[in-house]
Structure 1
Amino acid sequence: MGYCSSSWIQILILIPLLILLPTVLLLSLSPSSPSPLTSTSATLRLSPRRRPPGTAALSASAAAPAKRLANPAPENKLEAELSRARASIRRAAAGAAGGLGRTNFSGLLSRPSVYRNAAAFYQSYSEMERRFRVYVYSEGEAPLVHTGPCKNIYTTEGRFISELELMRPGEYSGAGEANILRTEDPRRAHAFFLPFSVTQLVRYVYRPNTFDQTPIRRFVSDYVDVVASKHPYWNRTAAADHFMLSCHDWGPHASRANALLYGNAIRALCNANTSEGFRPRKDVSIPEINLVTGDMPPEFISPPPPESSPRSLLAFFAGGVHGPVRPVLLRYWKGRDPDLEVHEYLPPGSDDYYSYMRRARFCLCPSGYEVASPRVVEAIYAGCIPVIISTGYVLPFSDVLKWEEFSVKVAVEDIPRLKEVLRRVADEEVMRLMAGVRAVRHHFILNHPPKRFDALYMILHSVWLRRLNIKVAQV
């Protein structure tokens, strides 16, 4: 399969149901969005396991040592690997809490304060690289499966699917590191990826202007039925070690096509809205990245202005008026104050959009039709402090990143006082937040091929955390 390639849909062929393997037990998933830290003492907290619907019984405690078997089954080997990974991460977290953790993390995490627990994150990421294996189901044909849009607002969806399809065990990435996260042996897999693209389904299956999602849900339901009938893994854990990914607004709705997909599987979504069923205990919030041409433009990949560079604007926003939040923002601030450049559309002859961002201290990121906005990532690229104006939005990678270290949240009801709220942020605090923005920037960049700690691997790490049943949180 070529990079971001596509062809016409072929019919999926149902295959007779195989005899199911014995039920294997899965970890429950702990909250992905811990409460903000109020002290520097942090540790690793493991949630008690729960029984996924349809499984036989709870597994042993995460702290219990793996039993040694003469001929351990593949499932037992996998659980033993996860148990060793948990123990390693606990030790790293405990060392950090006692002042014994790493200080420079091999130079890869330049500002530990932007992480909930930098030592635990570094160790967890290292364990992921060492152990985590993902199996990608081969069923289905492009353009609905195995590929996706690699440009526009749905870039994250297409790039993730395509990059995962290109991964092969033993190959090397552009950073010169072995890329073995994908396995072609499902018996060695810790997680199973369903590679259908909701955006492609909307493009090829949905009938325009009908607002009828039935054809999309029917395809997803049929695809899951094929996977469940051909392979034992879906039913073995009631889908709790399977995951899908979507950046389309209808991604959450498409997942409702199957009760286990919606209720048990890990859903990696741009539209991470708790009011629409997003559950941080098991789901993954991913960044919405808008690459118009499919490539990172020079202004995105070039370093942002130095922290010492003057920023003449207090805040900036330009965007269409849709959803419940933006009309309020424009009603109070459009053209009202020279310090707050708030536009529906930029005036003719004015600077380009990204230039405004590079001149502003704060970049306003109000929700539109859905909670996610590509402006959050664009602000980070520009070295501008994102101002999150949203309700119910679980921010990307908030299981490991402390967003309060590089962003500001403003409640919708505080929009009339927006200038006052932003003016109250002292200059020293602005500099600290901008330093945080620069420190997390590489976590939101899409590289081809992927590089360590970039957006693709951060998404996989979030899936890994949920498979591990861990979170980094304050004591």
Structure 2
Amino acid sequence: MASELHRSNKNTKGFYVKMKFFRSKNTKPETPFLIKHFKWILWFSLSFYFFARFLNNHEPNTTTLKTTIINHSNRALSESIQHQSSNNHGLLNDLKVYVYELPSKYNTDWLKNDRCSNHLFASEVAIHRALMNSDVRTFDPIEADFFFVPVYVSCNFSTVNGFPAIGHARGLLSSAVDFISSELPFWKRSNGSDHVFVASHDYGACFHAMEDRAISDGIPEFMKNSIILQTFGVKYKHPCQNEDSIIIPPYISPKTVQSTLSKSPIDGHRDIFAFFRGKMEVHPKNVSGRFYSKRVRTEILRKYGNDRRYYLKRHRFAGYQSEIVRSIFCLCPLGWAPWSPRLVESVALGCVPVIIADGIRLPFESTVPWSDISLTVRENDVANLGKVLDYVAGTNLSTIQRNLWDRKLRRALLFDDDVEYGDATWEVLIALSKKLHKSHRRSRTEFESASE
């Protein structure tokens, strides 16, 4: 080792002498390489840095969840810190949601049909979109309280009648669960209890429009432990009502509501006393012996069809919101299921909803004071509907309207593109923050604290 070091020193000295030999006496000492080319080195370093940042922020699409997590790992910590607003820390109890990035066949492929993101069942699309850019989203599944499974099952429109055909829903959801459970361990560790689905259909996760068939089929076994966001809800025991479900409003486009109100203000003149547009069968026993709307709509047409104060129409009209904003009372009778998009449209456009659906659970009842802004008429009392409306019109109508026209209520029932404080997706997050006992992360943290 010593001899090698000596030889190295000799070589170095020889090289130095040789360089002196060729140098002129009058020449200034040469500037060292690093100092001479400092600007170029700095330019190259900065360029490489920004190019690396660009690549990091533009990951390619992936087909596996494992690859997706690897791609996001470098920014997961900063995202989880930056995405925690003061509202999340406080009102939402520092809630964190992981959104599975599934292959496009489960969701975005369906968006080729524009109706997919705009019809009454489109809350499954709206909630997914809002969560993608939400402050509560985490890219680190280990830090998640809940896991959102974005599968669009109501965008398969029938070519016969144009209605959503959801016969494929069970198979599509089961396939999605198989995928996420094979890629990541989080479904199996909790048996899906901290996973969230949307079932914005007539009878929720029973996935059928006819109640008897829905009850017969029941909720798929693999979804029974999970949290289901659904429009269907009743105050009595029902096989299609999961005990951990959250009742959400049907989807109504905020843009169409805003457009309607820009032409007719919510507190403007209303020249229609009572309004309803929709299916009203003269002979309601029209589907395999089943009575549509339990004959309620038929009775309304029979009783009030010739009363000029009642604006009752059986056919569709694209601009029907312009009729709602002109109406004082909007009838919201049950269809095949108790809920109706008319509930949201009535509130959003300032028309007093008249709810005719026994035992219905309404969306966000802890936030929306339904008893102060709506009327409830029992299905069997629909023949006395006129007397009820006349009484209210002559007594406390102005009070109800004043309560109804609070813009906070309109916001709470509409899904914005991004989560906005007080909007429908925000209300979903508030409801989830009250179910943190189902969070595996929280349970683990509490156990570790207790052990200490």
- TM-score above 0.5: yes
Correspondence 1:270 to 2:211:
no
Correspondence 1:393 to 2:353:
no
> Residue 135 of structure 1 aligns to a residue in which SS?
strand
- Residue 189 of structure 1: aligned partner: 144
Q: State the alpha-carbon separation in 2 of the partners of residues 145 and 315 from structure 1.
A: 40
TM-score (norm 2): 0.63
Return the match for 1:323 from 288, 293, 303. 293
Q: State the alpha-carbon separation in 2 of the partners of residues 340 and 396 from structure 1.
A: 27
Divergent runs of 4+, >6 A: 10-15, 123-126, 206-209, 211-214
Please show how residues 84-95 of structure 1 align to structure 2 within 5 Å. none
- Residue 224 of structure 1: aligned partner: 177
Whether the 8 Å contact between 1:389 and 1:409 is mirrored in structure 2 is yes
Number of residue-to-residue matches in the alignment: 330
Correspondence 1:247 to 2:200:
yes
Please show how residues 444-463 of structure 1 align to structure 2 within 5 Å. 444-463=413-432
Partner deviation per Cα, 1:289-326 (whole Å, 9 max, x = no partner) = 244xx84354445496465x553333111112253332
- Residue 198 of structure 1: aligned partner: 153
- Residue 5 of structure 2: aligned partner: none
Correspondence 1:354 to 2:321:
yes
TM-score (norm 1): 0.60
Name the amino acid aligned to 1:312: D
Please show how residues 304-315 of structure 1 align to structure 2 within 5 Å. 305=265, 307=267, 309-315=268-274
Return the match for 1:403 from 333, 357, 370. 370
With over 3 angstroms needed to count, the CA separation of the structure-2 counterparts of 1:392 and 1:228, relative to structure 1, is farther
Q: State the alpha-carbon separation in 2 of the partners of residues 150 and 421 from structure 1.
A: 37
Q: State the alpha-carbon separation in 2 of the partners of residues 162 and 220 from structure 1.
A: 19
- Give the deviation of 1:421 after TM superposition: 1.2
Of 443-452 and 125-134, the range deviating more from structure 2: 125-134
- Residue 175 of structure 1: aligned partner: none
Correspondence 1:372 to 2:327:
no
- Give the deviation of 1:278 after TM superposition: 4.4
Whether the 8 Å contact between 2:88 and 2:94 is mirrored in structure 1 is no
Name the amino acid aligned to 2:144: A
With over 3 angstroms needed to count, the CA separation of the structure-2 counterparts of 1:136 and 1:328, relative to structure 1, is same
> Residue 315 of structure 2 aligns to a residue in which SS?
coil
Name the amino acid aligned to 1:456: T
Whether the 8 Å contact between 1:221 and 1:257 is mirrored in structure 2 is no
Whether the 8 Å contact between 1:380 and 1:441 is mirrored in structure 2 is yes
- Give the deviation of 1:197 after TM superposition: 1.1
Unaligned 5+ runs, structure 2: 1-60, 67-85, 208-216, 281-291, 439-452
Q: State the alpha-carbon separation in 1 of the partners of residues 249 and 145 from structure 2.
A: 23
With over 3 angstroms needed to count, the CA separation of the structure-2 counterparts of 1:226 and 1:160, relative to structure 1, is same
Whether the 8 Å contact between 1:146 and 1:195 is mirrored in structure 2 is no
Return the match for 1:136 from 99, 107, 114. 99
Partner deviation per Cα, 1:418-445 (whole Å, 9 max, x = no partner) = 0101222255522222122222112123
Name the amino acid aligned to 2:307: D
> Residue 396 of structure 2 aligns to a residue in which SS?
helix
Name the amino acid aligned to 2:412: H
Q: State the alpha-carbon separation in 1 of the partners of residues 142 and 218 from structure 2.
A: 27
Q: State the alpha-carbon separation in 1 of the partners of residues 227 and 109 from structure 2.
A: 18
With over 3 angstroms needed to count, the CA separation of the structure-2 counterparts of 1:444 and 1:300, relative to structure 1, is farther
Partner deviation per Cα, 1:161-200 (whole Å, 9 max, x = no partner) = 22223x1xxxxxxxxxxx4210011111111111111113
> Residue 447 of structure 1 aligns to a residue in which SS?
coil
With over 3 angstroms needed to count, the CA separation of the structure-2 counterparts of 1:370 and 1:279, relative to structure 1, is closer
With over 3 angstroms needed to count, the CA separation of the structure-2 counterparts of 1:421 and 1:312, relative to structure 1, is same
Q: Which has the higher contact order (CA 8 A, sep 6+)?
A: 1
Partner deviation per Cα, 1:209-237 (whole Å, 9 max, x = no partner) = 9x996643222222212323333322333
- Give the deviation of 1:128 after TM superposition: 4.1
Identity, in percent, stands at 25
- Residue 69 of structure 2: aligned partner: none
Name the amino acid aligned to 1:465: K
- Give the deviation of 1:246 after TM superposition: 2.8
> Residue 296 of structure 1 aligns to a residue in which SS?
helix
- Residue 70 of structure 1: aligned partner: none
Unaligned 5+ runs, structure 1: 1-9, 16-122, 168-178, 470-475
> Residue 249 of structure 2 aligns to a residue in which SS?
coil
Whether the 8 Å contact between 2:89 and 2:95 is mirrored in structure 1 is no
Name the amino acid aligned to 1:228: S
Q: State the alpha-carbon separation in 2 of the partners of residues 299 and 332 from structure 1.
A: 34
Of 361-370 and 337-346, the range deviating more from structure 2: 337-346
> Residue 342 of structure 1 aligns to a residue in which SS?
strand
Partner deviation per Cα, 1:16-39 (whole Å, 9 max, x = no partner) = xxxxxxxxxxxxxxxxxxxxxxxx
